[in-house]
Amino acid sequence: MPTDVLMPQMGESIAEGTIVRWIKRVGEPVDRDEPLFEISTDKVDAEVPAPAGGVLVRIRAEAGETVPVNSVVAVIGAAGEVGAAGEEAAAPAAPPPPASTEAPRVEARGPTADAAAPAASRVRLSPVVRRLAAEHGVDLSAVTGTGDGGRISKADVLAHVAARGQGAGADAARPGTPGATAARVEPMRVMRRRIAEHMVESRRTSAHVHTRFEVDFSAVAAARAGHAEGAVPGYLAYIAKAVSAALAATPVVNASVDGANVVYHDRINLGIAVALDWGLIVPVVKDADRLGVGAIDAAVKDLAARARAKQLAPGDVEGGTFTITNPGGFGSLLGMPIINQPQVAILGVGAVEPRPAVVDGAVVARLRAFLTLGFDHRLIDGAVADRFLARVKTALEDPQWLEAAHRS
């Protein structure tokens, strides 16, 4: 019996998902729980497993389409159920119309009404593709479909539009022509669009202010060198532990704004920004204040690995109360991070590296890094932000605190 494949609900507040790509093609066998397609939502990118074993007999939503949760996006059945191009069996052909001696009547129609007609006779088109073709005046008979059975996807239409635009400007772009330029146009990935929306919304929502402290990491380096058991925690784990302690002592930094109200969170859940080849995601270390440095380090590494493998669950990216981003891992000295809404602060970590410092009146080389706190001035005043960051700095430079952080 055929099994419908549904668009899953990847989190309580998620109402729709965008299909990024199909891992299986129509006609291919698939095992239960084997990755079937990849989706992107406001919360997470993930691979969706097959709900049953069999053969992928039909795809009802192409790559690039955004559909509501619980919509049927595909059907898994037996091999004999695969129809032409994986689509539903064609309806019985209607009897031919009676012969007529009248000359055929031809209606003149514009591109918006007629664009999809030639292609529709070959393969079924999604509403998204039809609408996009109408908006851009695309004749779908001129579009090469890359989907199953030559099916035309949203990406195919956008690529055609981009190529048409480049062709129209070919003379202007020809080398040697005055003012010539060369360009490649492609649609944003779903995650990139979501990031763009969230960053613009954050700038529009919060009154961003930044403060920066330079921290000596010599004591942290000594603590790492003295770590005798298991994997040596990274600098980020020590920073996260110090941030957790500072958040407990400064609850307003672990809060959020809800209209005219301030919501003080009773848990300290640290979001750790993870850079991916296709974007950025912020999985969350829950109850970080209750974890030791080693446990935080293990949690961060696990979340980062699963994020890059597209194996995060919705719960892994929900509930964050404060975010840490670590561009220092790429060599950046400092930056001015944008707040991850609805939080009210974010910490940017610069590269930990040897640099000149004055110690006891002498210039020496010490391991140092800049920590930058971005905060929402609607709720947090500069003095509060500086006291918070001073607590983080004091903890990271205190060997006794670092020793206790290993045991907690």
CB 106 within 8 A of CB 114: no
Instruction: Give the per-residue pLDDT at 142.
Output: 83
The residue assigned the tokens 């770590």 is 227
Angle formed at CA 143 by CA 139 and CA 149, multiple of 5 degrees: 125
Alpha-helical regions (H) of 12-97: none
More confident residue, 143 or 285: 285
Task: Output the CA–CA distances (angstroms, integers) from residue 279 to 119, 245, 275, 320, in the order listed.
Answer: 34, 30, 6, 19
382-396 vs 399-407: helix crossing angle, rounded to 10? 80
Does the pLDDT at position 223 exceed 80? yes
Please count the helices (runs of H) and the strands (runs of E) in the chain: 11, 19
Distance between CA atoms of 363 and 356, rounded to whole angstroms? 6
Fold classified for 3-84: OB fold (Dihydrolipoamide Acetyltransferase, E2P) (2.40.50)
What angle, rounded to 10 degrees, do the helices at 293-308 and 235-249 form? 110
| 3-state helix vs strand vs coil in the chain, percent to 5 | 35, 25, 40
Q: How far apart are CA 215 and CA 218, in angstroms?
A: 9
Banded pLDDT at 108 (limits 50, 70, 90) = very low
Query: Is residue 333 very low, low, confident or very high in pLDDT (cuts 50, 70, 90)?
Result: very high
For residue 96, pLDDT beyond 50: no
The number of beta carbons lying within 10 Å of the beta carbon of residue 47 is 16
The backbone torsions φ and ψ at residue 70, rounded to the nearest 5 degrees and listed phi first, read 70, 5
Q: Could you tell me the residue ranges of all domains in the chain?
A: 3-84, 114-173, 191-407
Beta-strand pair 345-349/279-281: unpaired
Active-site residue numbers? Answer: 377, 381
Neighbour count for residue 99 (Cβ, 10 Å): 5
CB burial class (10 A; 0-12, 13-18, 19+) of residue 12? exposed
pLDDT over 50 at 187, yes or no: yes
For the whole model, what pTM was predicted? 0.69
The rounded distance, in Å, linking the Cα atoms of 157 and 186 is 11
Asked if pLDDT for residue 248 goes beyond 60, the answer is yes
* CATH superfamily entry for domain 114-173: E3-binding domain (4.10.320.10)
Question: Three-state SS for 105?
Answer: coil
Residue 99 pLDDT > 50: no
Closest C-alpha to 376, from 347, 348, 325, 339: 339
Superfamily of the domain at 191-407 = Chloramphenicol acetyltransferase-like domain (3.30.559.10)
Domains 3-84 and 191-407 are alike in CATH topology: no
199 vs 202: CA distance, rounded Å = 5
Instruction: Please report, for residues 100, 232, 269, 297, 312, the alpha-carbon distance to residue 287 in angstroms, rounded to integers and kept in the order given.
Output: 79, 21, 5, 13, 18
- pLDDT per position as a tens digit, 249-279: 999 999 999 999 999 999 999 999 999 887 8
Helix H or strand E encompassing 370: strand 362-376
Q: What is the Rg, in whole angstroms, of the alpha carbon atoms belonging to the chain?
A: 28
Closest CA to 264 of 389, 399, 379, 118: 379
